[in-house]
Amino acid sequence: MGLNLLDDQGKRIGSLRSGIHALSETAGSWTAFELNADIAETVNGKPVNALKVVVIVESSAAEVSVDDVQLLQADPSSIVRNASFESMAAATSSSSTNSCA
């Protein structure tokens, strides 16, 4: 799992990655994955405007569902609009510095 850091044009200016997780160990059940990292306000002088969650599955036979993404600040509250993916329109209506696209 990872995060792509995007500039105001939607271009990737950096990325963060977690370790590799074997999904076969938890097949058929929900499993939590974490990526603990500090997200810089700028990368190479460019402001980080948005984040894109990236999940890579290396199997042609696997079906993977992703739900409930949280980004936490020092105070443990989610800063992600539409974190439960209930409304895709809400996730694409606007972007800000602390958004997830």
The pLDDT mean for the chain works out to 76
Query: H or E element: which one contains 15?
Result: strand 12-17
How many distinct structural domains can be found in the chain? 1
Structural domain including 86 reads: 1-101
pLDDT at 91 over 50: no
Query: H or E element: which one contains 88?
Result: helix 88-92
Query: How many CB atoms are located within 10 Å of the residue 73 CB?
Result: 10
In tens, the pLDDT along 6-35 reads 999 999 999 999 888 887 778 888 888 888
